């Protein structure tokens, strides 16, 4: 099979004339007293989309996680339970605070945190649980919230990859004590870089807002006065302008992701492949279509990536277990350590065509056939 005529990117933002119009307006008019207009609009509209009372725009999802953990009361010496399979940004803010991440295993079907393993990992030092809606897949939130209530734990939903996914009719990120999102250029909704913190708890929101403004409390009424230091994870008005436009196109952007996934599901019919699941009580936004190869398939993942590159196809590896990285200690998380070498992320950029998805599947099928004779 000859290489595709042009490169098939893994993902990239969908930018329409609406985004250009809003950003141009922010450049031309969004200064002085109007320098926060698009930020406040984006926060208000995003909270409405999520069904949350409060939203705080940030410069990154990592910054949103940091602010959320501090606002939720996580302190140095506390333990925070996290899934072993996720991007490291889910865990780095735990380390910023001086708390300890406790890595637990994931479920073999959703690849999201295993509630039973969460319950088993709780100690007197456990303060919070970070759950991650991996690749758009949904965490079993009812079980997590029940555990949190029983043991008086805070729950932070990392929905960086789950924007637009739904669990029992509720948006991913809206169920826990707080939720966080990413608007990196790879995400379904993008501001280039950026993030958002959402919550229904006024106290959490106000703490996060003060922390995000160098520690300044507007209720004190004293300019440039802080009683404690804070941080600056602020989003710019220009980024927020793009975010407002992207959010107006939410239905379109999510629908296209779901359509692209349906193409892969139609073409990848072999029992030797597993794709992102969607159970009856969930709606998966399929941020990153992911194929997990059965253990019976002989697979050298690096050779597959090289083969796909030769065919003009971008792809990404399934996340490594975080506990396998040099700065941590390996854990006995059997599922996490068994699946990461068998998983790859597939292209799903917004303007993708059916023929491109079919070509991706044909390339994978060809590689497997050549290496399993």
Residues tagged active-site: 187
178-182 sheet: strands from edge to edge: 54-58, 195-199, 178-182, 154-158, 126-132, 79-83, 100-104
DSSP element (H, E) containing 343: strand 343-345
Residues 6+ apart with CB under 8 A from 150: none
Q: Tokens representing 84?
A: 């072993």
Region of 312 please: left (phi>0), alpha (psi -120 to 50) or beta: left
Whole-angstrom Cα distance, residue 101 to residue 331?
12
How long, in residues, is the chain?
373
Burial class (CB in 10 A: 0-12, 13-18, 19+), 201: middle
**Which residues sit opposite 293 in a β-bridge?**
273
3-state secondary structure of 83: strand
By the 8 A CB rule, do 85 and 106 touch? yes
- Separation in Å, CA 89 to CA 66, 69, 95, 177, 182: 10, 13, 10, 19, 11
Whole-angstrom Cα distance, residue 64 to residue 181?
8
Whole-angstrom Cα distance, residue 322 to residue 84?
5
316-317 sheet: strands from edge to edge: 273-275, 290-293, 343-345, 316-317
């Amino acid at each position: 099979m000859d290489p595709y005529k042009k490169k098939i990117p893994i993902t990239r933002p969908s930018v329409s004339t609406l985004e250009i119009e809003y950003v141009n307006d922010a450049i031309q008019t969004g200064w002085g007293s109007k320098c926060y207009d698009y930020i406040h609009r984006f926060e208000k509209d995003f909270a409405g989309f999520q069904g949350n009372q409060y939203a705080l725009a940030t410069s990154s999802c990592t910054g949103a996680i940091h602010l959320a953990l501090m606002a939720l009361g996580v302190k140095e010496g506390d333990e925070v339970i996290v899934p072993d399979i996720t991007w490291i940004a889910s865990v780095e803010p735990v380390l910023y605070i001086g708390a300890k991440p406790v890595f637990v295993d994931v479920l073999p079907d959703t690849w999201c945190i295993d509630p039973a393993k969460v319950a088993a990992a709780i100690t007197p030092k456990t303060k919070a649980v970070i759950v991650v809606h991996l690749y758009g897949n949904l965490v079993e939130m009812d079980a997590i919230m029940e555990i949190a209530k029983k043991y008086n734990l805070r729950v932070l939903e990392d929905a960086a990859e789950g924007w637009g996914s739904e669990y029992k009719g509720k948006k991913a990120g809206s169920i826990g004590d707080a939720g966080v999102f990413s608007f990196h250029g790879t995400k379904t909704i993008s501001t280039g870089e950026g993030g958002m913190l959402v919550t229904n708890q006024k106290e959490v929101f106000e703490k996060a807002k003060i922390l995000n403004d160098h520690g300044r409390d507007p209720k004190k009424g004293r300019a440039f006065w802080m009683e404690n230091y804070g941080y600056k994870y602020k989003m710019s008005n220009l980024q927020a302008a793009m975010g407002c436009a992207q959010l107006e196109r939410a239905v379109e952007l999510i629908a296209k992701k779901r359509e692209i996934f349906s193409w892969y599901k139609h073409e990848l019919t072999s029992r030797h492949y597993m794709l992102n699941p969607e159970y009856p009580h969930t709606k998966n936004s399929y941020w990153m279509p992911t194929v997990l190869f059965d253990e019976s398939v002989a697979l050298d993942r690096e050779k597959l990536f090289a083969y796909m590159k030769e065919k003009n196809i971008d792809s990404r590896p399934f996340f490594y277990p975080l506990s396998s990285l040099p700065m941590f200690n390996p854990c006995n998380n059997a599922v996490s350590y068994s699946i990461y070498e068998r998983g790859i992320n597939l292209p799903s950029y917004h303007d993708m065509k059916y023929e491109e998805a079919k070509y991706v599947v044909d390339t994978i099928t060809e590689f497997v056939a050549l290496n399993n004779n």
